[in-house]
Amino acid sequence: MREPVFEGSGVAIVTPFAKDGSINFPKLGELIDFHVAAKTDAVVICGTTGESSTQSLEEHMAAVDFCVQHTAGRMKVIAGAGSNDTNAALMLSKSAKDSGADATLLVTPYYNKATQTGLIKHYTYIADRVDIPMILYNVPSRTGLSFTAETYAALAKHPNINGVKEASGNFSLIASTRALCGDDFYIWSGNDDQVVPLMALGGKGVISVLSNILPEVTVQMTHACLAGNYEEGAKLQIDYMKLVNALFCEVNPIPVKAAMNLMGFDVGGCRLPLCEMTEKNLAFLKQTMLDAGIAL
């Protein structure tokens, strides 16, 4: 039986940008150190929250390489490698392996909206050619496409496909997947507002936006569930729901980057077409952070 890539809290880390718009690598190193100190279990670099969609291939590969080198084995590194072009996803996956990443994260092909057969062919093509654990990523709100439980079951047979980051919010799909795939296909929550219920269905943790600002809380929540203490996990889930909702009052990662800047992390803004928050939503986010006890 294969082992999960990680258990517990994985941060979907932001990509900090300098004033000239380039990746701020010294700041990225500081953020990685911050998560090591907080005992975050894994870092996901160049995912949705990391704004991979507005990075050049060269920037993307450089960010993954830097993350692996700077982390230096102190936590697992999962490299975003998804694309709606199978060959581009393959290239990014090969590059991630060459950099020394522990695993890749591949979103479903967006815009061209593959069939379920196309999904199986897409992921199998890549998994056959890169010997590195792969985590699928299901986020139909962004891609217009979702896996079925039957497709998960077909892909779970491949030894290099480790599991899925599930951000569909569809608990019927998650339960059906667990029933079809058993314990050898792992599921991580992709939604900070659903960590505990997904883990109660056998999930192994979360790939989290919240962890960017409250890594200790996310670690505590997930590790409580891993230990079978769902009451403790549920309390944390409920206590921080208002903050989680505030972090998604505009499209991710706009609010979390604003929150980090309010906390003094100085991660810069987002690249267009993402832009700064409205004054109303920024005030709401700031007040929600203060209500949660975060010093600004």
Active-site pick, 123, 137, 186, 240: 137
* Contact between residue 15 and residue 23 where contact means Cβ atoms under 8 Å apart: yes
Phi and psi for 248 in degrees, rounded to 5?
-125, 25
d(CA 191, CA 165): 9
- Does the active-site annotation cover 125? no
- CA-nearest of 81, 152, 143, 135 to 114 is 143
d(CA 68, CA 153): 31
Active-site pick, 165, 204, 240, 257: 165
- Does the active-site annotation cover 137? yes
* Contact between residue 17 and residue 267 where contact means Cβ atoms under 8 Å apart: yes
- Scored b (16 or more CB within 10 A) or e, 220-235 reads bbbbbbbeeeeebbbe
d(CA 168, CA 41): 23
d(CA 95, CA 112): 24
Q: How far is CA 154 from the centre of its chain?
A: 23
The contacts of residue 150 (CB under 8 Å, 6+ apart) are 116, 180
Q: What is the DSSP letter of 248?
A: T
Q: Which residue has 């139909």 as its token pair?
A: 140
CA–CA–CA angle 71, 73, 74 (5° rounding): 70
List the catalytic residues. 137, 165
